[in-house]
Amino acid sequence: MSANVDVSAHRRAVEFADGVFWVGALDPTLRSFDIILTTANGTTYNSYLVKGSDGVAVIDTVKENFSDEFFARLESEVDYGDIKVIVLNHLEPDHSGALPELMRRAPQARLYISQRATSMLKALLHAEDGLKYTTVKTGDTVSLGDRTLEFLHTPFLHWPDTQCTFLREEGVLFSGDVFGCHYCDKRLFNDLVGDFRFSFDYYYAHIMRPFKRHVLDALKLIEPLQLRQIAPTHGPILRERPRRYVTHYRELSTSALSRGIGDDDQSMIVFYMSSYGNTARMAEAISEGAGDVGGVRVSLYDLQGGETEPFVDLIEEADALLFGSPTINGDAVKPVWDLLSSLAVVNLKGKLGAAFGSYGWSGEAVRMIEDRMRGLKMHIPTPGVRVKLIPTEAELEECRAFGRQIAEALVGKSQKKDVIEFADLA
Partner 1 sequence: MAKAKITFEDIEQTVNVPAGTRVIEVSEKIGAGIIYGCREGDCGTCMMHVEEGWNNLTEPSVLEEKVLKENMAGRHDRLACQAQILGDCKVKPA
**Binding footprint of partner 1 on the chain (CB under 8 A):** 115-116, 118-119, 349-350, 374, 377, 379-382, 409, 414, 416, 418-422, 425-426
Quote the least distance from Cβ 25 to partner 1, whole Å.
31
Task: Using DSSP bridges, classify how beta strands 20-22 and 48-52 pair: parallel, antiparallel or unpaired.
Answer: antiparallel
Q: What is the DSSP string of 44-106?
A: EE--EEEEETTEEEEE----GGGHHHHHHHHHTT--GGGEEEEE-S--SHHHHTTHHHHHHH-
Interatomic CA distance for residues 150 and 128, integer angstroms: 27
Task: Name the minimum Å distance from CB 414 to partner 1.
Answer: 7
Q: Measured from the CB of residue 102, what is the shortest distance to partner 1 in angstroms? A: 24
Find, among 52, 59, 54, the residue nearest to 165 by Cα: 59
Task: Compare residues 394 and 425 and give the one whose CB is closer to partner 1.
Answer: 425
Question: Minimum CB separation from partner 1 for residue 152, in Å?
Answer: 16
Strand order in the sheet with 229-232: 141-143, 148-153, 163-167, 172-176, 229-232
Please state the closest distance from residue 379 (CB atom) to partner 1, in A: 5
Residue 369 to residues 156, 268, 350: CA-CA distances in angstroms?
27, 17, 16
Strand ordering across the sheet containing 352-359: 296-302, 266-272, 320-324, 352-359, 385-388
Nearer to partner 1, 278 or 347 (CB): 347
Closer CB to partner 1, 115 or 308, in the complex:
115
- The residue (of 32 and 119) whose beta carbon lies closer to partner 1 is 119
CB of 425 to partner 1, least distance (A): 4
Angle between helices 212-222 and 243-252 in degrees, nearest 10: 150
Choose between 171 and 381: whose C-beta lies nearer to partner 1: 381
104/417 with CB nearer partner 1: 417
